[in-house]
Structure 1
Amino acid sequence: MDNDEPGSLDRGIAQDDRQRRFRMVPVRYLLPNMITLLALCSGVTAIRLAVEGRYELGVACVMLAVVLDAVDGRLARLLKGTSRFGAELDSLADFVNFGVAPAILLYTWSLNGLRTAGWVIALMLAICCALRLARFNVALDDPNKPAWANQFFTGAPAPAGAGLALLPLYLGFLGVIDDGHGWALAIGLYVAMIALLMVSRVPTFSGKHMGRIRGDMVLPVLVFAVFAAILLIAYPWQFLTVVSILYLALIPISIRSYRRHAAADALAADVGPASS
């Protein structure tokens, strides 16, 4: 009997392994990951297009990755299909789509005019994107985070950082910047500033938790969304330029709003012990 026990135990373990391997996985777990993989394909394609000098299509691929990145997370929460695997895959895809791809596009279009310094700036953009994503993942587990803090990001999020970093390319497509290499120094300084913004402690507005809107605002929001989509298709570079400038202009407002919330919390904490 004693000789049979190890063998039966091994067979039981092997059977459990087979059951785990071939268990049914709900489709709701697969759909968000499929969208994330499509976004990754779009980001990697942007790198190829940058090497080939097809910059407009390359930037369009990055923007497609931004849209897909916004869709996959919301779809996962809607279908209750969030998973640790999906979160890790999303972070890796975001690093490629919003760190590596914009860096390669900017380097091949302009920053290579600065030679080694240009490559350092491109690396800086990619590395800051990776650090920003890592910090975001760690901050998710913070139990002491106040509820109002969900209205803000710490630093510019990776998709917004990529969109802002590509602003010189939008201006180039519009003819405002006639030669990326001629403006390489100014573009390099701007890209370095955006990279630092991504890893900074500057609070920026977050739309990630805007899950509901008032009933009377449904129609205006739908009209605005459709109008924005039409503008993006008809006038992509003008639209992205305006959005980038508006985002930068909103940063001082977000800082003031964040400080107002923090001051209210501090005041409540002071009043609490005093009243007791």
Structure 2
Amino acid sequence: MHADTPVEPPDDDAARGPRLREIPLRLMVPNLITVLAICAGLTGIRLAFENRFELAVGMVLLAAFLDGIDGRVARALKATSKFGVQMDSLADIINFGVAPALVLYVFVLDRVGSIGWIAALIYAIAAGLRLARFNVMADREYKAKWQSEFFVGVPAPMGALLVMLPVYLGFLGMGDSRAFAYAATGYTILIGYLLVSRLPVWSGKSETRVRRDLMLPVLLIVVLYVALLMSFTWEVLAITTLAYLCILPLSARAWKRRYGTLTIEDDHANI
């Protein structure tokens, strides 16, 4: 090398390697909520095995709530991503399928042995199938008009709330007999069937308007419901579950009036 040959200064960026792209904090918020939901669901399972059932149910319900709002938060913050969709699907199967099934099994279904375990398996698998069908229908290009008004089968979040009814009743002193365990087993299988059925279930997604003069009474009713839920948790949850089950026939009747059948028959609905 000649003495007068210029020496180029080292490239600092090249020395440091490829530069990582920074991610805005708002994109992380929905994923953090999803992770918290998974933690709550798994913690509920642990608490159930420790026979701390009230806390276990509370954690499962908290997981279902967090899992239900993460998508809405993502849309509100314009932070949706393919990664978030995959995380949400993972959280759904844990919080709406596995966690409720295991808590229910430890609380009451284990009294009838293998039959109770089979019922828990059926519900968990049904929840997974329900979520897979929902994802497929949500991703397809063609969407039928009825999809803005009805679900195909009971949605997985409501399935998690419904299947826990034997636990609510157990907290109210109704779960000591073996007959109750057999009834809970049959009920668990029934809820699993409702998840994968083609029963039209009103979704509440369609635009529903409230008259201006009824706005304050509606708000008061909501406040009253929350207050009762905080004061009489298990009674309110049991009544809410039974009320939802009573609405299902009315939903099918509304579908029949509009479309002429009792069940959804749509070639695009897949499984």
So what's the TM-score if we normalise by structure 1?
A: 0.82
Partner AA of 2:25 in structure 1: V
SS of 1:25 mapped into structure 2: coil
| 1:260 and 2:257 aligned | yes
SS of 2:173 mapped into structure 1: coil
What RMSD over aligned residues (CA atoms) do the two structures have, in Å?
Answer: 2.2
Alignment of 1:100-111 (within 5 A): 100-111=98-109
Hey, what's the Cα distance between the residues in 1 that align with 2:80 and 2:207?
16
Q: Match of 1:130?
A: 128
Hey, what's the Cα distance between the residues in 1 that align with 2:74 and 2:221?
25
Hey, what's the Cα distance between the residues in 2 that align with 1:102 and 1:188?
13
Hey, what's the Cα distance between the residues in 2 that align with 1:198 and 1:248?
12
Structure 2 residue corresponding to 1:198, chosen from 190, 195, 198: 195
Task: Point out the more displaced range, 63-72 or 143-152.
Answer: 143-152
Q: Match of 2:174?
A: 176
Structure 2 residue corresponding to 1:73, chosen from 48, 68, 71: 71
Partner AA of 1:262 in structure 2: Y
Q: Deviation string for 1:248-270 (max 9, x for gaps)?
A: 00101111222333249xxxxxx
Q: Match of 2:113?
A: 115
Aligned identity (percent) is 46
Q: Which runs of 4+ in 1 moved over 4 A?
A: 210-215
Hey, what's the Cα distance between the residues in 2 that align with 1:260 and 1:29?
43
Q: Match of 1:150?
A: 148
Structure 1 residue corresponding to 2:165, chosen from 144, 147, 167: 167
Q: Match of 2:227?
A: 230
Unmatched runs of 5 consecutive residues or more in structure 1: 1-13, 265-276
Q: Deviation string for 1:145-167 (max 9, x for gaps)?
A: 22332211111111110111100
Hey, what's the Cα distance between the residues in 2 that align with 1:128 and 1:105?
16
Q: Is the 8 A contact 1:148 1:261 kept in 2?
A: no
Task: Point out the more displaced range, 156-165 or 215-224.
Answer: 215-224
Q: Is the 8 A contact 2:148 2:206 kept in 1?
A: no
Q: Is the 8 A contact 1:35 1:68 kept in 2?
A: yes
CA 222–70 in structure 1, closer or farther in 2 if over 3 Å, else same = farther
CA 53–226 in structure 1, closer or farther in 2 if over 3 Å, else same = same
| Displacement after TM superposition at 1:211 (Å) | 6.9
| Displacement after TM superposition at 1:79 (Å) | 1.6
Greater helix percent: which structure? 1
Hey, what's the Cα distance between the residues in 2 that align with 1:210 and 1:31?
27
| Displacement after TM superposition at 1:182 (Å) | 4.7
Partner AA of 2:254 in structure 1: S
